[in-house]
Amino acid sequence: MKPGPRSRPAEPGICVSGSSGAGSAFPAFLPSGAGVEPGSRPGTVAAVLPAGGCGERMGVRTPKQFCRVLERPLISYTLQALERVCWIKDIVVAVTAENMEAMRSIIQRYRHKRISLAEAGATRHRSIFNGLKALAEDQPDVVIIHDAVRPFVEEDILLRVVTAAKEHGAAGAIRPLVSTVISPSADGCLEHSLDRAKHRASEMPQAFLFDVIYKAYQQCSDYDFEFGTECLQLALKYSHTKAKLVEGPPDLWKVTYKRDLLAARSVIKEKISQEICVVMNTKDEESAGHLLKEVLKKELNCVNVTSTVLDHTGGNVQKFPTDQCYSFICVNVVSSEFQETQKFLSTLEESGLPLLYPVVVVLVHCCDLTLAPLASKMESLMWIRSLAEDMKKRNVLLSGLLLNYSKDEQKLQESFQQGASIIAALVKERSSALAGQLLLA
């Protein structure tokens, strides 16, 4: 069966390793003992994501791959994980006809690249087969099959299964069994149990030489298509290819139930809270910004705290971090700096960071509260609330912090430590309910 025409991706996504390019092949930094001869050209790699499920086990009307985590569809996180690997040249998503337009909107909104769409079938295996048929005309050497609802896949495990597939024809990630597998009898009693130490759980990603898996699917029976779930078994049954099993990391779990959405949310929030950038208006190492940075480093010793300086001439920041940082602490913000703050927020928005994750911005104003009434100081920062409402629509969670810059050394230290605790909570929780709040330390 000859596949129909499909649109080709115009450009690659963000690249983690090596240089990018729509025709990028396998990475040059293969690990020793990976099964690829030095100087060989393992060829091109593509991926197929079956995304036609209806979320029956989750018990929600929205298919789980389209459920939102931190206001972003789950499948977008999985696509991002694959796009960041520049040697994956093409990603085919098999999606149902009724969700085709929604998938196109996700690709456009979140600026995904190298994505092609194929129509999903009635079952998982039929969806995978349709994805493979979409690649058949310009077939890759190796194809990765991965679940749309496994968003935490890293380049290392992708590289290992692809390398093993190149040598053995097929490979898949496995994990130790958490629970013992038992077989019940017809009357509901225990018949026998498996020795957990001798068995493993089959996970994703899996990888195959394209000819191996395509040949297997071409020979599948209707029973395989309707009731089968294991691609490695099809390669063994129809292509006589024994898959190499690769020990995978613990974060290959699949979002299946509602509680898994909460777990995914927690993992993502933890991941994007590991970097904090302190933005200040001076390089003076005795400034409040530098002092706050040092306190944050001590209070949050597991978080990387960096700093940058606001350029008032252009309203931008020097060396604006655009890759991993989603938390910004802007120090010494006063009402006279409203325009500079807006320019900073515009630069932040233009970077594209808020498209992918909610970005926390804390505007910190330091002043000695013994020299001026607290009420007047808080009043001068009320503009933050209205600005926060507007920024929330852009996925930027903005809040204000008034920090008591006392001349008393002990009180100053206590104020900075309390401020660091407040900042840590805002960064970790990323709660839209806290956006627009004016807090006091």
**pLDDT score for 341:** 83
pTM, full prediction? 0.85
Residue 415 reports pLDDT greater than 80: yes
- The pLDDT tens digits for 337-367 are 677 788 889 988 888 899 999 999 999 988 8
Q: For residue 428, what are its two tokens?
A: 């970790």
Backbone angles phi, psi at 312, to 5 degrees: -70, -20
Q: For residue 103, what are its two tokens?
A: 């998938």
Query: Where are the domain boundaries for CATH 3.90.550.10 in the chain?
Result: 45-268
Question: What residue type is 181 in one-letter code?
Answer: V
Distance CA 31, CA 36 (A): 9
**pLDDT score for 377:** 79
Lowest mean pLDDT among 108-112, 208-212, 333-337: 333-337
Could you identify the residue written with the tokens 């040598």? 167
Given strand 359-367, what is the order of strands in its sheet?
316-317, 304-311, 275-280, 327-331, 359-367, 396-404, 438-440
Per CATH, the homologous superfamily of domain 273-440 is Flavodoxin domain (3.40.50.360)
Query: Where are the domain boundaries for CATH 3.40.50.360 in the chain?
Result: 273-440
- The pLDDT tens digits for 82-105 are 999 999 999 999 999 999 999 999
Residue 7 reports pLDDT greater than 50: no
Half-sphere exposure of 213 (CA within 13 A, CB side): 36
pLDDT band at 320 (very low <50, low <70, confident <90, very high): low
Backbone angles phi, psi at 429, to 5 degrees: -80, -35
Q: What percent of the chain has pLDDT over 90?
A: 63
* Mean model confidence pLDDT for the chain: 86
**pLDDT score for 375:** 83
Q: Which residues pair with 145 in a beta bridge?
A: 48, 206
- The pLDDT tens digits for 228-250 are 889 999 999 999 999 999 999 99
- Residues 250, 256, 261, CA angle at the centre, nearest 5°? 80
- DSSP 8-class letter at 359: E
Residue 3 reports pLDDT greater than 70: no
**pLDDT score for 130:** 98
45-268 maps to CATH 3.40.50.720: no
- The stretch 202-223 carries a mean pLDDT of 97
pLDDT band at 328 (very low <50, low <70, confident <90, very high): very high
Residue 220 reports pLDDT greater than 90: yes
Q: Which residues pair with 433 in a beta bridge?
A: none
Distance CA 167, CA 142 (A): 11
Choice between 416 and 27, residue whose per-residue pLDDT is larger: 416
Helix axis angle for 409-429 and 288-299, nearest 10°, is 60
Residue 270, helix vs strand vs coil:
helix
- Residues 280, 285, 288, CA angle at the centre, nearest 5°? 50
- The pLDDT tens digits for 46-83 are 999 999 877 665 666 789 999 999 999 999 999 999 99
**pLDDT score for 34:** 43
Backbone angles phi, psi at 25, to 5 degrees: -100, -150
User: Around Cβ 8, how many Cβ atoms within 10 Å?
Assistant: 10
Q: Which residues, other chains included, contact 221 with Cβ-Cβ below 8 Å and sequence gap of 6+?
A: none
**pLDDT score for 381:** 83
Residue 400 reports pLDDT greater than 90: yes
Residue 32 reports pLDDT greater than 60: no
Residue 4 reports pLDDT greater than 50: no
- The stretch 261-278 carries a mean pLDDT of 95
